[in-house]
Structure formats: C-alpha cells, structure tokens
C-alpha cells in the first residue's frame, strides 16, 4: 500500500509502505474511511521536531474493521470504529481514572495517513458506532479521533460550566472546536482570540460571542476590558507557545481554570507568577477515549458538527499539498480520503 512518509522539513511523500498485519493478538486492522493532518504534525513538518529518519505520519482515523487478532472480543470485522491517537487497554488504574492517554500500556498510533492501520489494544482503544454511519457524518466522526476530543478535554480541564465566561487562545482547529465545546457545555460568553477573517467567521458559527484579535499582553488587556478587569472563568490554551501559555494564564481570573492542550514547545513557567495567579491549571495529551461514546452520540444525533473545521478535502495521494496548505495557513485542517 502507499502512505504518507516525512523525509525531512517540508518533504512529505506518498510512497510504498508495508501494509499492516496483526502482530499481537490484541490488534485490529482498520480500513480508513478518512484520515487527516493535525496541527501537531506541523511541528515535525516544519523541522521544529527533528526528523532523523523517514517517518510514517498520521494519528487521526476512523473506518471499518477488516481483521482482528484472536484475543479481541468486543470489536468485530465490519464495524465502523473510531479510536484515539493513544491506544489504551481501558482497564489499568490510569484508564479507569479516565486518563486513557496516560495508560500504563499506551502506544502512540503514528501511521494513520494510509489506507490501512494497525490499532493495538483494539478492545480498549476502539469505539464502534451502532451502525455504519451516513457518509456525510465521516468528517465529524473523524474529528473525534483527536481534534474534537482534544478541544473537549481543554473545555473539561478548564471547568467550563453553564453561564460561565470562556476565553480561547488559538484559532487553529483545536481552538475553534474549543469554542464549539464551550458552547455545547453551556458557556454564556465565549471570547475567541483570532486575527484571521475566515477563522473568526467559523468561531462565530461555533458560538463565539466576542473576538479579540490582539495577542500577548495586549490580548490579555483586551480580555480584562471585556470582563470588568477580572479575567475569564475558564481559558482554553490551544497553541503551546510561551506567548500563548502566558496569555492563557494571565487572562484567567483569580480562582479560574486554564485547560492547556497545545503541545508545549519551549514553554517555561515562573513559579512566583503562578503562585500569585491563583489559577487552576490542567492539561496534557487528551484522554480522547473517555469522551468518545458521548461525542459519537452528539455527532450521530447531529447536535454538533466538528467536521466543519475541515476546509480542505484531498485524495490521500495529495497528502503533500494537504500539509503545504496548512503550513501556509491556507487551510485550517485537511481531510484526506484514501
């Protein structure tokens, strides 16, 4: 089969790779209905994370089970399934506590930009839909695999509740879906921080009530202006830079919550500033598996449409263009059709 392989900065190729096979009896092989490019793939693509050898890419997936190992009991061939970027057993103490992305047996799934994918720990990792979903639901179901699950975790970690004021730092796909998550969780006021017209428009569609285009300390000042000098109850950090992290912490009111899901790159926090901020901080790789059943229901009932973040759809063999478009910010997120 052919799939995406990153050879170095800005060099993604669609090339021959070995088709996956069952290696462990707990594995499943899934035929992709859709896969996509993640904002976090761009850290590798831009050479910020060094790529020392050709690296298969992709960690977001949904599709039809082709084959399962002999120890797999709940997942069956023919089912439509969605899973997280971390495979998990869903039985260890960390999983039972709702932190499947911290599973004692977790395995990162990093080769999903291909027609077929091996998913380890299939029973614990995959969630099957009750029937094979309508084709138009595929983008939204695919989004649950990471970007929407991650945004939902950011909102959960930031303790978003009905009636609250929420600020979202970052207008990438996760930030935009952070707006959707805050809306779904009943936030009254949702301030999206964005300086791009098309993204501001989508933020409004997803439920943003205010847009702040200023960044850094000027952005913090604007959030304070909008909240009587207090700051937001909940702030979602969806970027992972020093500036975005400080923007999030400083935009949060005393006693408020910051949920951070941008993968930190070079972020350093000052103990004294944190001490005096009185802010709850929680984040990390999202335990997407915890949220899948609930989010799958919301999509199937057509109450949320997170697939709207895909503003570019390409056949999988044009994966290189999919990366380029996101790198150049011509696309928010690229869906790839095998």
- Positions touching Zn ion (CB under 5 A) are 88-89, 92, 95, 103
Nearer to Zn ion, 88 or 247 (CB): 88
List of residues 6+ apart from 269 with CB closer than 8 A: 245, 249
Minimum distance from residue 99 beta carbon to Zn ion (Å):
8
Minimum distance from residue 102 beta carbon to Zn ion (Å):
8
Measured over the CA atoms of residue 51, residue 284, residue 194 and residue 57, the dihedral's sign is positive
DSSP states of 4-33: EEEEETTEEEEEE-PPP---STT-EEEEEE
Nearer to Zn ion, 285 or 338 (CB): 285
Q: Which long-range contacts (CB under 8 A, 24 or more apart) does 77-81 make?
A: 79/128, 79/129, 80/33, 80/128, 80/129, 80/131, 80/132, 80/133, 80/141, 81/28, 81/30, 81/119, 81/126, 81/127, 81/128, 81/129
Nearer to Zn ion, 35 or 94 (CB): 94
- Count of positions (residues) in the chain: 338
DSSP lists the bridge partners of residue 280 as 257
Nearer to Zn ion, 39 or 124 (CB): 124
Minimum distance from residue 96 beta carbon to Zn ion (Å):
8
Nearer to Zn ion, 21 or 104 (CB): 104
Minimum distance from residue 151 beta carbon to Zn ion (Å):
23
Minimum distance from residue 289 beta carbon to Zn ion (Å):
9
């Amino acid at each position: 089969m052919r799939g995406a392989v990153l050879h170095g900065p800005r060099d993604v190729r669609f090339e021959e790779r070995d088709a996956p096979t069952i290696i462990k009896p707990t594995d499943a092989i899934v035929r992709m209905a859709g896969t996509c490019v993640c904002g976090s793939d761009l850290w590798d693509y831009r050479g910020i994370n060094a790529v020392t050898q050709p690296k298969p890419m992709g960690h977001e997936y949904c599709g039809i089970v082709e084959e399962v190992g002999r120890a797999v009991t709940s997942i069956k061939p023919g089912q439509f399934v969605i899973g997280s970027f971390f495979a998990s057993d869903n039985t260890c103490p960390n999983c039972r506590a709702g932190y499947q992305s911290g599973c004692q047996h977790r395995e990162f799934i990093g080769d999903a930009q291909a027609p077929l994918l091996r998913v380890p720990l299939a029973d614990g990792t995959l969630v099957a839909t009750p029937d094979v979903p309508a084709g138009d639901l595929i983008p939204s179901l695919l989004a649950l695999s990471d970007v929407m699950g991650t945004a939902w975790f950011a909102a959960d970690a930031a303790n978003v509740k009905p009636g609250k004021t929420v600020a979202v730092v970052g207008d990438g796909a996760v930030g935009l879906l952070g707006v959707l998550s805050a809306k779904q969780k009943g936030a009254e006021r949702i301030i999206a921080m964005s300086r791009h017209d098309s993204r501001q428009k989508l933020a409004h569609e997803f439920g943003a009530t205010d847009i702040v285009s200023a960044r850094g300390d000027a952005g913090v000042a604007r959030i304070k202006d909008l909240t009587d000098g207090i700051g937001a109850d909940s702030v979602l950090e969806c970027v992972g830079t020093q500036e975005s992290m400080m923007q999030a912490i400083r935009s949060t009111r005393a006693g408020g919550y910051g949920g951070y899901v941008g993968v930190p790159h070079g972020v350093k926090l000052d103990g004294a500033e944190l001490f005096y901020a009185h802010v709850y901080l929680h984040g990390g790789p999202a335990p997407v598996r915890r949220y899948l059943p609930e989010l799958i229901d919301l999509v199937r009932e057509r109450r949320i449409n997170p697939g709207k973040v895909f503003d570019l759809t390409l056949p999988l063999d044009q994966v290189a263009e999919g990366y380029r478009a996101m790198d150049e910010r011509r696309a928010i997120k690229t869906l790839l059709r095998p």
